[in-house]
Amino acid sequence: MCGIFAYLNYNVGRERRYILEVLLNGLRRLEYRGYDSSGIAIDSDTSSVMQSKSKPYDTAPPVVFRQEGKIESLVSSVYTEVDQLNLDLEKPFLVHAGIAHTRWATHGVPAPRNSHPQSSGEFDEFLVVHNGIITNYEVLKQTLVRHGFTFESDTDTEVIPKLAKFVFDKARDGEGGVTFSQVVMEVMRQLEGAYALIFKSPHYPNELIACKRGSTLLLGVNELGGETSRHLFHDVKALTANDKPKELFFSSDLCAIVEHTKNYAAIEDDEIVHIKDGSVSILKFNYEKEKPASVQRALSVLEMEVEQIKKGDFDHFMKKEIHEQPDSLTTSMRGRLKDGVVGLGGLKDHMRTIRRSRRIIFIGCGTSYHAALAARPIMEELTDIPVTMEIASDMLDRKALIFKEDTAVFVSQSGETADTLLALEYALQHGALCVGVTNTVGSTLARKTHCGVHINAGCEIGVASTKAYTCQIVVMVMMALAIGSDKMSTLAQREAIIAGLTKLPEKVHDVLKLDGEMKALAQSLIDEQSLLMFGRGNNYATALEGALKVKEVALMHSEGMLAGEMKHGPLALVDEYLPIIVIATRDDSFSKQQSVIQQLHARKGRLIVMCSEGDASLVCPDGRSRVIEVPRVVDCLQPIINIIPMQLLAYHLTVLRGYNVDQPRNLAKSVTTQ
């Protein structure tokens, strides 16, 4: 849930100001992951800080800056403190290692003392930034307290640097030295939970160590003055067998790396990456073995453009991402629809198993769950396989039944959501075929599933998921087409859907023209306390997702409901004040929705009806309700069209109500804790 970042320049002179800006900018890119506090650590000058104190090392002590609030409050406090410490911002470093963190609080309130880097104590002998959760921190803390350590924060993370110091001191008291990676390896041996960590220590100046178990960790490599070599690197200095100037980065997300380099490696669980003297070694930790094995890895090339992580002409990422949907959908389908046939390379080898499965289970959380719900009817229709739905956390709570004859489809934009990943572990243990649908190449979900499809929606930075939602639906519709492609009985239907997919970006472009209308609707709802959305069939998911968008960004209570359930309770809420959006676009459920509208009218309901273009008089014969007319597309794609006015409504409501659109209160984009 937090974001970690590190920058190490080697054999290339960088002023302190530049280093600070790279670190702070890295945090700006990761801010969507958590934004209640942040911090960085850089080197001071040997001469300027703590010179009088007898520090236990000869090198420059690190300076740690920590601040509560958004990154910009860290930025201003950093420059004020730099001034107070008399640190020379123009001082160049030929080699320097800096670390940074942005936090979404889990253990302890947002406060400087709970922000990262967390420290081993006096003299900051070990500093750590952490994304994830240490589950056995209490036991570790008690042990460390018994050994004389005092704790300053309420975090689980603080045990890590203290444990590192404990290990280091113990090794130093014995014979011979201890390397940075040996210290970290011993720390890893003691830790339980999920984490990605970056360590910095004045005992190991200009070195950095990162390791991970569960949480995503990426390494970026930028060799300056020539092409980055793509050869393998391992424990010998192969990555950079020369002293080439270079910049190395660690990050929780590629979007913090893309503006520096396109060469990256995704670090696997239990790997330790050690950067020393400009070379990178990757070691594989093993509980059983004293000595780690060295790992060989080739660099991958990032297919992401810098524009994706910038707002461009838009005021907010959410708005940009809503308006990007014609393009993101095109990219999602690119190369996958050829001559009326759907080709999904990632599923090819498992198609026979999927077709033979006893059932398909869709598993996800929040918006990703809704996307699966939207695709469920067509998946059942085209494949003749029963499809059940599971919210990942509920599946785990119930220890739901899952069999080896099942195909479990895990849907996650980030590929990092803890609940979804735990459900994946559970399904793997029960022998089900596990399929991933994710936006994040190299994510844990992508790596741990047997097969899958990337949605290729592009980087989504706004915390509220928009373009990923519509791309997820498109991908699952394509999956349904591919799985069901052996059935002659549905050939005509499949051809119609493929034709519909081809025209979809154009239709999405058309529906985006409702922007102004949605702003006017938002204006009329700005002071409301509550909003209901009714949908059914293909658009039950639209009602749930529309309501989720409104509640998460506009901070307005909003409920999506199955229209068929209306008369079983929710009807009691209806009066002339409560705004109710009814989704009544054309499909099999249209006539049923017409009667829902009549029943609501009969109770003087304040209705806003979404209908297909030209149907206004059918859904609102007396002209009393507000109508949103949207383009008609094939039934299974209609949820993609219908959600867009709801996304726009949520966006405008938020701006008009004066709330933060891209970083809503209490939320963060990837929920890596249970």
List interacting residues with ligand F6R (CB under 6 A): 365-368, 412-414, 417, 420, 464-465, 548, 552, 670-671
**251: nearest Cα among 469, 122, 98:** 98
Q: CA 154, 444, 98: angle at the middle one, nearest 5?
A: 50
- Are 582 and 532 within 8 A, CB to CB? no
Decide whether 308 or 485 has the Cβ nearer to ligand F6R: 308
Q: How is the beta sheet containing 579-584 ordered, strand by strand?
A: 557-562, 530-535, 579-584, 606-612, 626-630
How many distinct helices (H) and strands (E) make up the chain? 19, 27
Distance between CA atoms of 65 and 79, rounded to whole angstroms? Answer: 10
- Are 619 and 609 within 8 A, CB to CB? yes
- Are 388 and 362 within 8 A, CB to CB? yes
Query: Which residue is closest to ligand F6R by CB?
Result: 366
Decide whether 38 or 414 has the Cβ nearer to ligand F6R: 414
Distance between CA atoms of 511 and 506, rounded to whole angstroms? Answer: 9
What's the closest the beta carbon of residue 327 comes to ligand F6R, in angstroms? 20
Decide whether 372 or 521 has the Cβ nearer to ligand F6R: 372
Q: What 3-state DSSP class applies to 515?
A: helix
Tell me whether strands 451-454 and 406-412 are parallel, antiparallel or unpaired: unpaired
Cite the DSSP H helix spans in 571-665: 590-602, 616-619, 638-657
Burial class (CB in 10 A: 0-12, 13-18, 19+), 52: exposed
Written as six digits, the tokens of 306 are 């810098």
What's the closest the beta carbon of residue 657 comes to ligand F6R, in angstroms? 17
What's the closest the beta carbon of residue 111 comes to ligand F6R, in angstroms? 25
What's the closest the beta carbon of residue 349 comes to ligand F6R, in angstroms? 25
What's the closest the beta carbon of residue 415 comes to ligand F6R, in angstroms? 7
What's the closest the beta carbon of residue 627 comes to ligand F6R, in angstroms? 26
Q: What number of CA atoms fall less than 13 Å from residue 334's CA on the CB side?
A: 12
What's the closest the beta carbon of residue 413 comes to ligand F6R, in angstroms? 3
Out of 2, 365, 451, 611, which one is annotated catalytic?
A: 2
- Are 368 and 374 within 8 A, CB to CB? no
Decide whether 248 or 424 has the Cβ nearer to ligand F6R: 424
Decide whether 67 or 414 has the Cβ nearer to ligand F6R: 414
- Are 671 and 360 within 8 A, CB to CB? no
Distance between CA atoms of 366 and 585, rounded to whole angstroms? Answer: 24
Residue 611 falls in the annotated catalytic set: no
Distance between CA atoms of 10 and 208, rounded to whole angstroms? Answer: 12
Q: Which residue spans within 413-566 are E strands per DSSP? A: 433-438, 451-454, 530-535, 557-562
- Are 563 and 607 within 8 A, CB to CB? no
Distance between CA atoms of 257 and 218, rounded to whole angstroms? Answer: 9
Decide whether 248 or 643 has the Cβ nearer to ligand F6R: 643
What's the closest the beta carbon of residue 304 comes to ligand F6R, in angstroms? 17
What's the closest the beta carbon of residue 665 comes to ligand F6R, in angstroms? 13
Decide whether 159 or 418 has the Cβ nearer to ligand F6R: 418
DSSP state of 495: H
Distance between CA atoms of 374 and 18, rounded to whole angstroms? Answer: 47
Decide whether 464 or 561 has the Cβ nearer to ligand F6R: 464
- Are 426 and 392 within 8 A, CB to CB? no
What's the closest the beta carbon of residue 668 comes to ligand F6R, in angstroms? 9
- Are 191 and 136 within 8 A, CB to CB? yes
Decide whether 197 or 446 has the Cβ nearer to ligand F6R: 446
Q: What number of CA atoms fall less than 13 Å from residue 194's CA on the CB side?
A: 19
What's the closest the beta carbon of residue 670 comes to ligand F6R, in angstroms? 5
- Are 149 and 161 within 8 A, CB to CB? no
Decide whether 1 or 221 has the Cβ nearer to ligand F6R: 1
Decide whether 456 or 465 has the Cβ nearer to ligand F6R: 465
Amino acid (1-letter code) at residue 446: A
- Are 650 and 664 within 8 A, CB to CB? no
Decide whether 548 or 610 has the Cβ nearer to ligand F6R: 548
Phi and psi torsions of 63, nearest 5°? -115, 130
Distance between CA atoms of 584 and 629, rounded to whole angstroms? Answer: 10
Phi and psi torsions of 157, nearest 5°? -65, -30
Q: How is the beta sheet containing 359-364 ordered, strand by strand?
A: 387-391, 359-364, 406-412, 433-438, 451-454
Residue 381 CB neighbours (<10 A):
15
- Are 526 and 497 within 8 A, CB to CB? no
Distance between CA atoms of 410 and 437, rounded to whole angstroms? Answer: 6
What's the closest the beta carbon of residue 469 comes to ligand F6R, in angstroms? 8
Distance between CA atoms of 338 and 313, rounded to whole angstroms? Answer: 34
Active site residues: 2
